[in-house]
Amino acid sequence: MKTAGIIGGAGFIGSYVTKQFLENGYRVKVSALDISNKEKYAHLYGLPHAENLEIAPLDVQNLDQLKAFAAGCDILVHGGTPFQLEVEDVQRDLLDPTIKGTENFLRVVSETPAVKKVVFIASVAAHNTDFPMPAPGFAPGHVYSEKDKPYCSRESHPYCQAKYYADQAVRKFTQENPAPGFDIVTVSPVGVMGNQLSGREDSTSMGIQFLFKNKLAPNPFIQMFYDQDVYFAIVDVADVAESVYKAATFPNLHGKHYLLTGESYRVSDITLMLNGKEPVGQPGMVYSNALATKDLGVQFKPARVPLMQYAEAMETAATS
């Protein structure tokens, strides 16, 4: 039985990734920043084949813990960088865990011979830190693809900048190490939607859906989405997990980057679908999923699927 180590494997996306590997016969090691806080990962023990699950302590800035976590793993999935839009200290809470954590991870993997495949769960922000706004310099209606040069602005949200610079560290490593003895693949999801596997209330992805559903704006960054009624690219969380699994198990993908995206809708239409209603406008494509479909064979679901799943889950919760 092979072992997959999943950093962030108890989070919104990570839980679905953990489920994928368990269902496909892997022993799965999931990281926990605070292993005593069992509420963070208790839901994983309800997954099929949870007898093959291990929870291990890990702070990505701690090299000794990283080495212990990586030991014995055939596959490592790094999805543990913080997805936080509001932090007390940007450097401490966001930039250091994301950028330095990635650099530490690359160093440790290079010293762990058992590892044969690494998958980074990056973000569309690694390609465009102005997401969901368009990057400058492109014609209206441009569909972004992996061929476009990644764009970063110092005016962008700190989370987006952190994802950009962490991804740049990975790109630099793969360019300087064309044959490191293991494959590195990066997947960059757009706005990840759907229902969570846990009952936790600290998921930023679930929080964004709640804000859109109720048209709430806790800060000017979110208010801008409503004011401009931007096209917001959506991907189903289960499709992200499938993509991660295939990126981890398909051969000869070293150095590849994949955008993971379904349809894009105006935020006003997303609000309607999150409330179980039909959209007024038509979907568009702001980011391309052609390469992920071609190489990984993922058929991305229409945006209404994860949005309606969330709407149904919220309705059930309200009536129970």
Q: Predicted confidence band at 8 (pLDDT cuts at 50, 70, 90)? A: very high
First and final C-alpha spacing in the chain: 41
Q: Could you read off the pLDDT of 48-76 as tens digits, one per residue?
A: 999 999 999 998 889 999 999 999 999 99
| pLDDT at residue 236 tops 90 | yes
Q: Phi and psi of 307, rounded to 5°? A: -65, -40
Q: Predicted confidence band at 88 (pLDDT cuts at 50, 70, 90)? A: low
Mean pLDDT of the chain: 93
> Whole-model pTM?
0.95
**pLDDT score, position 128:** 97
- Enumerate residues 6+ apart whose C-beta is below 8 A from 221: 85, 157
Torsion 210-212-217-220 (CA) sign: positive
Domain count, the chain: 1
Nearest to 178 by CA among 111, 108, 252: 252
| pLDDT at residue 9 tops 80 | yes
When mean pLDDT is compared across 192-201, 236-245, 258-267, the lowest value belongs to 192-201
- Residue 56, strand partner residues: 31
Could you tell me which residue, 157 or 168, shows the higher pLDDT? 168
| pLDDT at residue 189 tops 90 | yes
| CATH number for the domain harbouring residue 25 | 3.40.50.720
Range of the domain at 298: 3-319
Nearest to 158 by CA among 251, 255, 91, 257: 91
SS3 of residue 136 by DSSP: coil
Letter for the amino acid at 133?
M
Average pLDDT over residues 209-236: 94
Average pLDDT over residues 128-149: 94
Q: Find out whether 259 and 291 touch, Cβ atoms under 8 Å.
A: yes
Residue whose entry in the numeric block shows the structure tokens 């693949």: 185
When mean pLDDT is compared across 53-67, 78-92, 95-109, the lowest value belongs to 78-92
| pLDDT at residue 24 tops 70 | yes
SS3 of residue 53 by DSSP: strand
| pLDDT at residue 95 tops 90 | no
**pLDDT score, position 185:** 97
**pLDDT score, position 213:** 95
| pLDDT at residue 84 tops 70 | no
Average pLDDT over residues 229-243: 97
Letter for the amino acid at 22?
L
**pLDDT score, position 87:** 61
| pLDDT at residue 81 tops 80 | no
Q: Phi and psi of 74, rounded to 5°? A: -85, -35
String of DSSP letters for 74-107: SEEEE--S---S--S-HIIIIIIIIIIHHHHHHH
